[in-house]
Every structure is written in C-alpha cells, then in structure tokens.
Amino acid sequence: METIKYTAIVLGAGPGGYPAGIRLGQLGVKTLVIEREYWGGVCLNVGCIPSKALITAAKRLEEVTHAESMGIELTGTATMNMTKLQAWKGTVVNRLTGGVRTLLKGNKVDMAQGEAKFVGPRTLELTKADGTVTRYEADHVVIATGSRPIEIPGFSFKDARVLDSTKGLALPEIPKSMAVIGGGYIGLELGGVYAKLGTKVTVIEMGDQLLPGFDPDVVKLIDRKLRKAGVDIQLKSQAQGWEDTGTSALLRYKTPDGDKTLEADYILVTVGRRPNTDAIGLENVTDNGAALAMEGRFIRTDGQLKTSVPGVYAIGDCTTGLMLAHKATHEGEVVAEVIAGHDVYNDVKTVPAVVFTDPEIATAGLMEHEAKAKGYTVKVGKVPYAAIGRALTTNETDGFVKVIADAADNRILGVTIVGSHASDLISECVLAIEMDCELMDVSLSIHPHPTLGEGVMEAAKAALGEAVHIMNG
C-alpha cells in the first residue's frame, strides 16, 4: 500500500483540530486534517452552537410572553414552531461548518474524511465510506478526537425515548414531559430550554446540589430560578432503570425518601462526557516499545501538548483538564506553533467557564470557595444586578458580580458572574487575571454607563471597601 506523507496530520476537525490545521497552514506546514463525521466537531454541529441557538429562541419566547411590565402587549399568544426553529438552527450550523472547510482550503490544508486508526506511532490508515483504505504518515501527528456523552447502564442511547445531548437538540416537537438525569451544565441548559417551551421537566441529581463544584451562592440562585419556572429538582437521587409503557418512559429512581417512579415522554441523560481515545489504535502509538502515557482514558501531555511519544501531540477533550471548546482552540493554536518550531507553551493562568442557564454563569480564575480551600485570605466584592442601572432597564435583575482577591496584595484571584450576559462580561475578567491585575486596576478603569460591565468595576471597588452604589461591608 502506498503511503502518502505530510509534515503534519491532525486527527479530528473539532474546535481544537480545525484551528490547529488552519494555523499550521498559515505557518507554511504541509498539513492534512482528517475528520470522521463532523467538520467543526461536536461543538459546531451538535453541541455549543445548536444548543445556544435553542437557548436563545426559548429565552426570546419567554421575554415576549412576559413583557407586559414594559408596556408590550400581545394581541395573541406567542408560540414556538419547532419545525421552523430546527430549520433556523440548521442554517446557523451549516454556515459555520461550511466556513471551517472554506478556511482550511483557503490556508492550503488538505482534508480527508473517514475512520482513521494508528498503525504505527505516526502512521494512520484511513477507511473511507466506500471502503477504500489510504495510508498516511507524518513527522508530527496531533490527536484531537474530542469526546462523546457517557452512556449509563440500562439507558441506551439507541432507545428512542432515551436522549443524549445530540438527540435532545433535534426533537421535532415540544415534549409534554422530560426527565433529566444529571444536574450539571448540559442537563440544566437543555432542561431549561424545554421548561421555557412548556415541558414539565424533572432533574435527578446524585449530589446534594446542582452544578457540582460551583459557587454555592450561584447554585442557590439557579436552583431558585428553576423551581420558580416549574422544574422539579430531585437531589441526592439516582436513576435505577426504566421501561417503555408504549406511550411514555416509566423511570425508576432512588431518593432519600425511598424509591419513586416518574412518567416522561423522554429521558435525557447528561452525566458527563468521555474522551474518544478507545478506538483509534493508540496501542500502536509507542516509543521503543513503551506505550503512550495515559491518565485513565485521557492522553497525558506536557506544557507544549507533547505526549510521551516523540512527534505525537494531543489537544482538547482527549487530554486532561476542562472539556471546553475554547480550551481546545487555544491548544490547537499552541500546538501548531510548537510543530512549526516556535518556542511557545500552553501556560495560561485561567480557562474561563460559561454555563448558559437562565441566568448565565461565567467564571474566571478561582471561585471564592476554591480560593479559601487553597489557603488564601480573601477580599470579596459582591454587587447584585439589582444595583446596576442597565440591569434594571433590561428587566433582568437576578444575579451578581463577585470579585475575589488575595487580601495580602489585592491581586485578583477570580471573578464569578451570574446574570444576564455573564458570558460576555467574563472576558474582561480573564484579561485581568492573565495580566495579574490588582483590584485598583479594575476599580479605577472607567466603565461606560449605563452598562452591565459597570458591575465588574463596582465589585472591585466593593472588595476595597470603596463601592459607591451599594453599601460597603
């Protein structure tokens, strides 16, 4: 079999792989990007982008139907046409995924589609849909194979009534009822969408709070908002199994009060994701007989995204750390620079996280409880959205901005925001942490009025005891 050679091969065209390919092309490196299914990966096709499209649509519907206080009166009832919503979502996805292929081609990157497996440390065999097999070899190979939803025993995603996140984004109708197993960010985002559309949603979470690991102040607010919206939240509870009654799914679950059952049109399983490292021939990626170093199912990498096998790199969800698209993108760009011979490292101070619940949650750096657990004595400035003029004018006053700083030197350790447009506001806070800013750097930076961003400035002032729009603690 003929072997086609490249300087670099990127395995996977998701939010880590395709930026790596684009940057390699820009740097003049002869590159091939191989993708199994989705150009743009899960994120663009069946994850981040389509989910935010549905979240936005559901939020708009809620805003329209509850706008009487602003003087907006409807002559009829606003409803959601799921067929049109799914069609609109599809146009957004197609525009972005088409752009990925255009950018790769424009940067002179070759593309191939099919199932690829390692047959040597830096050699892959690609099987296309028509059954033909092509062998490729490169000096550098980047593994960017992403992740997939975890399937729990007894709840097969092959069953029509059991949904993973992909199926949950593509329902053609608004279900009357839905059980969500897992109270993490994916379950609450999608569960929140259907709750707004009129679905009776029940969330079943094993832990003693929703969103495990998040600031308790944030969780209390989100919990209260969901319950107010009619979502039934079952904490310290565990799904046991289910059966199809013919008209619904009968879910059995264990609670602190005993075993219970629940009927629902669908069961959405969102208990996490696992890396796609189990079917790509990693056993053939060796160095003088030594196997590729792993950490469980994840590939171990160093500060330059290098694995234990020379010439092999890994980025994104198949490596340890947060499973976030923007983390993967940054790593893809770094690894391209490394392959091109530049002396760069993946040495960021923080990777921001965003949860698109209602209201949104965004964090950068350490949350308050994390900073205290690390032994810091902290200064905390907390400003409620209700004290921000712009929040009042948008009629969205649930939430707060919290700035956490080291009491020893006023250096900003982290920022937590829960509220409208938290996802947009957090970028300023990421920059502050990366630049090692002190509270005064933010508090003395003039923020335009009236904006939500003033809340970040005021929270920094509050941490210093200098807030002027709220009482200082």
Active site residues: 449
Under 8 Å between Cβ of 55 and 39: no
Interhelix angle 48-65/185-196, nearest 10 degrees: 40
Cα–Cα separations (whole angstroms), residue 387 to 204, 429, 450 = 34, 20, 12
**Residue 14 DSSP symbol:** S
What is the Cα–Cα distance from 15 to 258, expressed in whole angstroms? Answer: 43
What is the Cα–Cα distance from 301 to 16, expressed in whole angstroms? Answer: 15
What is the Cα–Cα distance from 116 to 126, expressed in whole angstroms? Answer: 4
Cα–Cα separations (whole angstroms), residue 155 to 18, 158, 171, 239 = 33, 9, 18, 10
> From the CA atom positions of the chain, what is the Rg in Å?
24
* Tokens found for residue 308: 């234990």
User: Cα 20 from chain centroid?
Assistant: 19
* Tokens found for residue 392: 């009042």
H-type helices in 157-250, by residue range?
165-168, 185-196, 216-228
Under 8 Å between Cβ of 364 and 375: no
Measuring CA to CA, which residue among 302, 334, 247 is closest to residue 19? 334
How many residues can be counted in the chain? 473
Under 8 Å between Cβ of 55 and 193: yes
Measuring CA to CA, which residue among 154, 225, 223, 231 is closest to residue 200? 231
In this structure, the dihedral spanned by the alpha carbons of residues 16, 113, 275 and 191, taken in order and rounded to 10 degrees, is: 80
The DSSP secondary structure of 254-298, one letter per residue, reads: EETTEEEEEEESEEEE-S-EEES-SSS-GGG-EETTEEPPEETTE
